[in-house]
Amino acid sequence: MSSATPKPYPGCDDDDPVTLAALAQLAAAPFGPVDHARIKNAVREILYAVGEDPDREGLQETPDRVARMYAEVFAGLHTDPAVFLAKTFTQSADELVLVKDIEFASCCEHHLLPFLGKAHVGYLPDGQVVGLSKLARVVDAVARRPQVQERMTETIADLVMNELKPRGVGVVVEATHSCMSIRGVRKPGALTVTSAVRGLVKTNASTRAEFMSLALGRG
């Protein structure tokens, strides 16, 4: 509540009490909080293994920096995004609500390289709406985990469906994967598009078409 609430990870610039409370779940994480010492040791080992000298001047602080970086980019492992959907408002409008172009950074679980993109999250209210920013907070919290894009997309859709209980949900995620750009197949321009639909957005063809057209429309 107070402005003295400790920041849950380095670089966190969030002051929203709900967000801070969610991120403060670090201590109750199922696999324990991020183990800085262990990451630092592992990064030293990797540096040795690739033929570097972790004690040379430029690398001396790198294991610590990497540990802090992982604590930040994997903060979602220790956050329950459902808390962002707990506060709702009664609203009679029942047409599609869509928040587009929510930028995110996630991490591919195969190579631990970033995948970056935009998420579009829409739902058909059933008497209750949620603050628009909370959809973006859900995307951000879910993104901060090692994962595949398909699972990220499904996780966001299931959260909105289960917590808000709307008549339907649609999520589209568009991303470029560093593991396809800087190594391996090296196709920097390739864009991966995934979708997850629930409820009426899944079963009603015209609702689904409307969602897809609005989510992917560029005009």
Ligand X SMILES: Nc1nc2c(ncn2[C@@H]2O[C@H](COP(=O)(O)OP(=O)(O)OP(=O)(O)O)[C@@H](O)[C@H]2O)c(=O)[nH]1
Active site members: 108-111, 149, 177, 179
Smallest separation, CB 15 to ligand X (Å): 32
The contacts of residue 155 (CB under 8 Å, 6+ apart) are 142, 147
Q: Which of 144, 167, 177, 198 binds ligand X (CB under 6 A)?
A: 177
Q: What 3-state class would DSSP assign to 192?
A: strand
Q: Write b or e for each residue in 151-168: b if 16 or more Cβ atoms lie within 10 A of its Cβ, otherwise e.
A: ebbbbbbebbbebbbbbb
Question: Which CB atom, from 151 or from 202, has the smaller least distance to Zn ion?
Answer: 151
Beta-strand pair 146-147/97-108: parallel
Q: What 3-state class would DSSP assign to 165?
A: coil
Q: Which of 34, 75, 83, 108 binds ligand X (CB under 6 A)?
A: 108
**Residue 22's binding partner, choosing from Zn ion, ligand X, none, with beta-carbon cut-off 5 to 8 A by kind?**
none
Q: How many residues contact ligand X, by CB under 6 A?
A: 10
Within residues 132-151, the interface with ligand X by CB under 6 A covers: 148-150
- Name which of 105, 104, 141, 144 is nearest 120 in CA terms: 104
Within residues 170-209, the interface with Zn ion by CB under 5 A covers: 179
Q: Which of 108, 139, 141, 157 binds Zn ion (CB under 5 A)?
A: 108
Chain residues binding ligand X by CB under 6 A are 108, 110, 148-150, 177, 179-180, 184-185
